[in-house]
A and B are shown apart, each in its own frame.
Chain A
Amino acid sequence: MSTDNNDETRNPSRRRFLQSSAMAGAGLIAGAGAASAAAPDPLITEVQDWASVFGDPVDATPYGMPIHFEEHVVRRNVEWLTESTASSINFTPIHALEGTITPQGVAFERHHSGAIELSKPDYRLMINGLVDRPLVFTFEDLLRFPRAMTTAFCECAANGGMEWGGAQLEGVQFTQGMIHNMEYTGVMLRDLLSESGVKPEGKWIYVEGHDASSNGRSIPLEKAMDDVMVAFFANGEALRKEHGYPVRLVVPGWEGNMWIKWLRRIGVYDQAVESREETSKYTDLMPDGRARKWTWVMDAKSVITSPSPQAPIRHGKGPLVITGLAWSGNGKIDRVDVSLDGGRNWQEARITGDARPKALTRFHLDIDWDGSELFLQSRAIDDTGYVQPTKQALREIRGLNNVYHNNGIQTWWVKADGEVENVEIA
């Protein structure tokens, strides 16, 4: 195990002394212009333990975990949301992450009957239904198909759903954290389907998992033959158990519920199965009492991840980095605008790194904060020309009984002391 705590236990009195003298020195003063130090910083002028003695040896952590200073960067759940944590959701700590790739260990989980343990030797995948040849593949079989890679966001259709009626949860982890973005390696579903041979009357596939919920979903054949992947690596390593080890479906741009984990069977049909997950759930109740179904695509959306309620501004006025994420299930992010005054005026943010279709895109805006209150908002524009709407614009169309597909603009109220609240404004 790690020996990360040793510097505390080895010489606690020395460490306490160093910390208090650092404070007394007031080495860093918030504010505009370069600060000046009243006294030399002992962290610089004195030889520190870590600059003198050994750190951890190479055999200390065969599989490395984040250093304990980062132990707050974890998935979190909201107990009152569900009756059972076996059929529940947790949230990615996006307020604490940067870049675009989500480490598997903090990527949100949604299970309908818990994360199951299924080994590669025990793994089977069946393709049957309207095919010329129903087939069974082992995990080893899948490794012999031509391999493909894709980077894609996976967003729960209910991401932001608790905010539909108004601001409810304090923190971007809870309001927009049912999302992750990984680089997948696997085989294209179309290659598996062509191995079985889809009959002309086959228009839909139905995909289901090995777990007790099976969580089946119908997908039109056009999508199945386009960009859907049967993945077994994520971010360069095997899928984690909670992400469907050893095999999951990747359905770029479409709601996370369709990304079947522990993929067991692909049935080919002439119609949608109309399973529980695509009728009772994941349908969108409209004001007239009817409901939209087959609302698969996740529309363009963005959110500022910092500052945010869990990431307040503590450094005072002056240079401030505003950072956030944008994505679209319909294509590539073209532009992200940020408003500091609750949507009165907007400026274009900088897209940092690549903007890939159906993948998380990072944006930044560097400002000189004058210390006055802000109403931060961001809005994404994708390459179809779609502009992320306000929550109110969505409510005017969909009413108040919608739950899924809330891609409305988020407002963060930054107060003069740097604390941040989740608010709605008029």
Chain B
Amino acid sequence: MSKSRNSAFAALLAAGLVAGPALAEPLGIGREALPEEIAAWDVAVLPDGTGLREGSGDVETGDELFAEHCASCHGDFAEGLDSWPSLAGGAGSLNDPRPVKTIGSYWPYLSTVYDYVHRSMPFGNAQVLSVDDTYAITAFLLYSNGLVEDDFVLTHENFTDIAMPNAEGFYPDDRPETEYVQFSTEPCMTDCIPGAPEITKRAAELKVTPTEEDGTPAGTLPVISAAADAG
């Protein structure tokens, strides 16, 4: 094993990050991954373009591919059918009562679109889209969101030039500062709220819970009392 591995691990040990007994030396289990195997499985694409394969695709081709592979759920214009996700639209809606979170309105990185389409779509028939197909569908999704013109061609070379509208819309978890301090005071035990409880919402009124034939919520425990067990 090389020196860099050991020094990295030693640094973690020194930082107290390794909780239990760590292996001092490699056990020699497993085998080296071959370049072909890594190429087949490591398809991740990162925001800085790491992992992009050489290739290109234009909006028009993407439109055709989208109609063939994607539109049955996402609609011809990526607007989303039924409850399937909308992929286009929703710009400026993120603080509305009903925000529409799409690629254009919400997704911070274009790499996520390429990566997800390439590895996980079409739903139920994943990993059938070629690199160029994926560039084309990604280009079409940019077009559907009004972010490029209809003659746009997306390639591995101009990929990282595209900035998504909501790129600055995310920040790392701040609950320790914004919530934990407030929620870590000694709680009240007696006479905490004046007055009697007043019901403001009843789930029963919505009638959206699966039910048994008798109208009780699905899974309601059966009667087990001896006196009532004469059914």
Question: Footprint of B on A, CB under 8 Å?
Answer: 19-20, 22-23, 26-30, 41, 43, 72-74, 76, 78-80, 82-84, 86-87, 93, 95-96, 112-113, 126-129, 131-138, 141, 144-146, 148, 166-171, 173-174, 188, 190-191, 194-200, 202, 206, 208, 212-214, 216, 221-222, 225-227, 264-265, 267, 269, 271, 273-276, 279-280, 283, 285, 287-297, 299, 309-312, 314-315, 337, 341-347, 375, 379, 381, 384-389, 393, 397, 400-401, 413, 421-426
Contacts and interface: CB of A to CB of B under 8 A. Distances in A.
A194 B9 contact: yes
Chain B, interface residues (CB within 8 Å), range: 35 or more
A381 B208 CA distance: 32
Contacts of A200: 4, 7-8, 11
Contacts of A206: 44
A225 B16 CA distance: 10
A184 B197 CA distance: 43
B227 A23 contact: yes
Interface of B: 1-2, 4-9, 11-12, 17-23, 26-27, 29-33, 37-38, 41-42, 44, 46-48, 50, 73, 82-84, 94-95, 97, 99, 101, 103, 106-109, 111-112, 115-116, 119-120, 123-124, 126-127, 169-175, 178-180, 182-185, 187-193, 197-204, 206, 208-210, 216-231
B204 A212 contact: no
A26 B223 contact: no
Contacts, number: 348
Contacts of B184: 384-387
Contact of B190 (A194, A198, A346, A422): A346
B80 to A, nearest CB: 10
Nearest to B92: A289
Contacts of B82: 83
Nearest to A401: B99
Contacts of B5: 131-133, 194, 196-199
B46 to A, nearest CB: 6
A86 B12 CA distance: 40
B44 A267 contact: yes
B4 A341 contact: no
Contacts of B199: 413, 423-425
